[in-house]
Amino acid sequence: MKVAVVGATGLVGTKMLQVLAERNFPVTELLPVASERSVGKKVSFKGKDYIVIGMQDAINAKPAVAIFSAGGSTSTEWAPKFAEAGIIVIDNSSAWRMDPSKKLVVPEVNAKVLTKDDLIIANPNCSTIQMVVALQPLHKKYKIKRVVVSTYQSVTGTGKKAVDQLFNERNGKDGEMAYKYRIDLNALPQIDVFTENGYTKEEMKMVNETKKIMGDDTIKVTATTVRIPVMGGHSESVNVEFENDFVLDELKQILSDAPGVIVQDDPSQALYPMPLTAHEKDEVFVGRLRRDETQPNTLNMWIVSDNLRKGAATNAVQIAEYLMQNGLLK
């Protein structure tokens, strides 16, 4: 299995290599790919160094799959060129997510939509991925009417520049700013740019992607996304209104049985999900499960996941695993 990782020198690309190794994806030949300025650098995979190559060289090498994490403009330009060469692209940028001709996939939720004709597959936004993994089993049982979500997102979602800003501020150093404002000891209620309706692009991603992944345009979603000075993962406070009522113990059991979900919910022991404990794990952690006492059929829940893993790298590798296991990747 010849595999290309496009954007191999970046924060998510590095995590892709780590996840491919940890999950023992059957890579017979690795092609680390990056922009021209990174060509010739070395990356490590399973204890061996590999030389970074350029885009066209990667296409010429004809990998079976190319996992992209190189930004929207790069994906817009190069993903079709890989696809034209018969290479399946799993793209982590926002470039193809809402393209009606492209599938937007979270394997635990909707992998079955994939076919042999899908040459460009979109990996969803990190904050959307963890939410739908937790919501899907509940939607099947109780049918979701409306979701109100507030996120508390790690600086790693912005990239290395943001991580550097946080630690520079923490250590009293001057440095390049990823954000307009200080992030340490602060919370920034803006992720991505504002749109005409007053919501940010990140908030609208959660609205639109949730409906597409879950295959239900009737689900109402409203979101507020916030950047906070943490590293381990994204957290979400989610209020879910169902059409049908639920028994809390049964609902917890449904989540406990759901693929990719770990329930951590014991108030007596102060057990609940946190970014610190979700860090470097592939699962979505759910806790603080309690009935909303202000209206019927409504649940409050807290969802945490490592945004670089399940929110990006792991989800992409899981898509590749599904393709391989179902004879769609050769």
Q: What is the CATH number of the domain that holds 147?
A: 3.30.360.10
- Report residue 102 as tokens: 């492209």
The angle at the Cα of 150, spanning 288 to 305, to the nearest 5 degrees, equals 60
135 domain residue, yes or no: yes
- Report residue 2 as tokens: 């010849």
Sheet holding 261-263, edge to edge: 220-227, 144-153, 234-242, 298-305, 284-291, 261-263
What pLDDT shows up at residue 259? 97
pLDDT of residue 64 exceeding 90: yes
Catalytic residue among 15, 212, 227, 234: 234
Same structural domain, 82 and 228: no
Rounded CA-CA distance 183/108 in Å is: 33
Q: What is the pLDDT of residues 80-131, one digit of tens each?
A: 999 999 999 999 999 999 999 999 999 999 999 999 999 999 999 999 999 9
Please identify which residue in the block is written with the tokens 């906070």. Answer: 228
The verdict on whether 126 is a catalytic residue reads yes
Same structural domain, 59 and 89: yes
User: 187: which strand partners?
Assistant: none
Same structural domain, 54 and 92: yes
330 domain residue, yes or no: no
Same structural domain, 188 and 111: no
**End-to-end alpha carbon distance in the chain:** 7
Q: What is the CATH number of the domain that holds 76?
A: 3.40.50.720
What pLDDT shows up at residue 330? 72
Q: What is the pLDDT of residues 250-301, one digit of tens each?
A: 999 999 999 999 999 999 999 999 999 999 999 999 999 999 999 999 999 9
Total domains in the chain come to 2
The verdict on whether 234 is a catalytic residue reads yes
Same structural domain, 203 and 260: yes
Nearest to residue 188, comparing CAs of 162, 225, 159, 223? Answer: 225
Average pLDDT, the chain: 97
What pLDDT shows up at residue 62? 97
Same structural domain, 302 and 188: yes
Same structural domain, 196 and 58: no
Q: What is the pLDDT of residues 192-234, one digit of tens each?
A: 999 999 999 999 999 999 999 999 999 999 999 999 999 999 9
What pLDDT shows up at residue 80? 97
Catalytic residue among 70, 126, 278, 284: 126
For residue 149, give its domain range: 127-306
Mean pLDDT of 237-258: 98
Rounded CA-CA distance 307/321 in Å is: 19
Q: What is the pLDDT of residues 135-144, one digit of tens each?
A: 999 999 999 9
What pLDDT shows up at residue 208? 98
pLDDT band at 329 (very low <50, low <70, confident <90, very high): confident
pTM for this prediction: 0.96
Sheet holding 120-122, edge to edge: 29-33, 2-6, 65-68, 88-91, 120-122, 103-104
192 domain residue, yes or no: yes
What pLDDT shows up at residue 123? 97
What pLDDT shows up at residue 275? 98
